[in-house]
Amino acid sequence: MFMTKLSKYPHIQAIHVYCDESVNGSRSGCGLFIRDYISANLYTNTEVSRRLPAPMSSTKGELYAVLEALHIVAPLHKNSGCIVRPSIHLPHGL
Protein backbone atom coordinates (compact mmCIF):
# COMPACT_ATOMS: atom_id res chain seq x y z
CA MET A 1 0.00 0.00 0.00
CA PHE A 2 2.71 2.55 0.90
CA MET A 3 4.51 1.94 -2.39
CA THR A 4 1.32 2.99 -4.18
CA LYS A 5 1.26 6.22 -2.17
CA LEU A 6 4.93 6.90 -2.87
CA SER A 7 4.57 6.24 -6.58
CA LYS A 8 1.94 9.00 -6.89
CA TYR A 9 4.63 11.63 -6.35
CA PRO A 10 7.60 10.75 -8.61
CA HIS A 11 7.75 14.31 -9.94
CA ILE A 12 8.71 15.62 -6.51
CA GLN A 13 12.45 15.35 -6.04
CA ALA A 14 12.41 14.61 -2.36
CA ILE A 15 12.93 11.86 0.14
CA HIS A 16 9.85 9.82 0.95
CA VAL A 17 9.86 7.83 4.19
CA TYR A 18 7.51 5.09 5.33
CA CYS A 19 7.94 4.03 8.95
CA ASP A 20 6.28 1.53 11.24
CA GLU A 21 6.82 -0.05 14.62
CA SER A 22 6.37 -3.49 16.10
CA VAL A 23 5.74 -4.37 19.73
CA ASN A 24 5.74 -7.97 20.94
CA GLY A 25 5.66 -8.33 24.70
CA SER A 26 8.90 -6.91 26.09
CA ARG A 27 10.49 -6.49 22.64
CA SER A 28 9.90 -3.60 20.29
CA GLY A 29 11.43 -2.36 17.08
CA CYS A 30 10.90 -0.07 14.13
CA GLY A 31 11.41 -0.26 10.41
CA LEU A 32 11.90 2.41 7.77
CA PHE A 33 11.63 2.39 4.01
CA ILE A 34 13.34 5.41 2.46
CA ARG A 35 13.02 6.38 -1.21
CA ASP A 36 15.35 9.18 -2.28
CA TYR A 37 14.27 10.69 -5.62
CA ILE A 38 17.20 11.96 -7.64
CA SER A 39 14.90 12.68 -10.60
CA ALA A 40 11.39 11.60 -11.62
CA ASN A 41 12.57 8.18 -12.80
CA LEU A 42 15.78 7.76 -10.80
CA TYR A 43 15.77 6.95 -7.11
CA THR A 44 17.43 4.85 -4.45
CA ASN A 45 15.65 2.68 -1.91
CA THR A 46 16.96 2.05 1.60
CA GLU A 47 15.49 -0.20 4.27
CA VAL A 48 16.43 0.24 7.93
CA SER A 49 15.37 -1.74 10.99
CA ARG A 50 16.18 -0.93 14.59
CA ARG A 51 15.53 -2.63 17.88
CA LEU A 52 14.13 -0.04 20.24
CA PRO A 53 16.08 0.60 23.46
CA ALA A 54 13.32 -0.41 25.86
CA PRO A 55 9.85 -1.93 25.81
CA MET A 56 7.36 0.76 24.84
CA SER A 57 3.81 1.26 23.64
CA SER A 58 3.02 1.10 19.94
CA THR A 59 2.44 4.88 19.87
CA LYS A 60 5.86 5.60 21.37
CA GLY A 61 7.38 3.05 18.98
CA GLU A 62 5.78 4.84 16.03
CA LEU A 63 7.12 8.19 17.22
CA TYR A 64 10.56 6.66 17.74
CA ALA A 65 10.45 5.43 14.13
CA VAL A 66 9.65 8.96 12.92
CA LEU A 67 12.52 10.34 15.02
CA GLU A 68 14.89 7.72 13.59
CA ALA A 69 13.80 8.70 10.07
CA LEU A 70 14.49 12.37 10.80
CA HIS A 71 17.98 11.51 12.06
CA ILE A 72 18.68 9.78 8.74
CA VAL A 73 17.16 12.24 6.26
CA ALA A 74 17.71 15.64 7.94
CA PRO A 75 21.47 15.73 7.19
CA LEU A 76 20.68 15.26 3.48
CA HIS A 77 19.11 18.76 3.32
CA LYS A 78 16.25 17.78 0.98
CA ASN A 79 12.48 18.08 1.15
CA SER A 80 11.12 15.04 2.96
CA GLY A 81 7.72 13.49 3.47
CA CYS A 82 6.91 10.91 6.12
CA ILE A 83 3.91 8.60 5.80
CA VAL A 84 2.57 7.56 9.20
CA ARG A 85 -0.34 5.23 9.73
CA PRO A 86 -3.52 7.27 10.13
CA SER A 87 -4.50 5.08 13.08
CA ILE A 88 -1.77 6.53 15.30
CA HIS A 89 -3.42 8.33 18.22
CA LEU A 90 -1.44 10.89 20.15
CA PRO A 91 -2.45 11.69 23.72
CA HIS A 92 -3.84 15.18 24.23
CA GLY A 93 -1.05 17.57 25.10
CA LEU A 94 1.78 15.53 23.61
Query: What is the mean pLDDT, run by run of 10 residues, along the chain of 94 residues?
Result: 54 73 84 81 86 82 84 75 57 50
Element (H, E) at 7: helix 2-7
Q: Which domains does the chain carry?
A: 2-83 (3.30.420.10)
Instruction: Give the pLDDT score at 2.
Output: 46
> Whole-model pTM?
0.65
* Amino acid of residue 89: H
Computed from CA positions of residues 94, 81, 29, 74, in that sequence, does the dihedral angle turn out positive or negative? negative
Instruction: Give the pLDDT score at 1.
Output: 45
Instruction: Give the pLDDT score at 37.
Output: 79
Instruction: Give the pLDDT score at 21.
Output: 84
Instruction: Give the pLDDT score at 94.
Output: 46
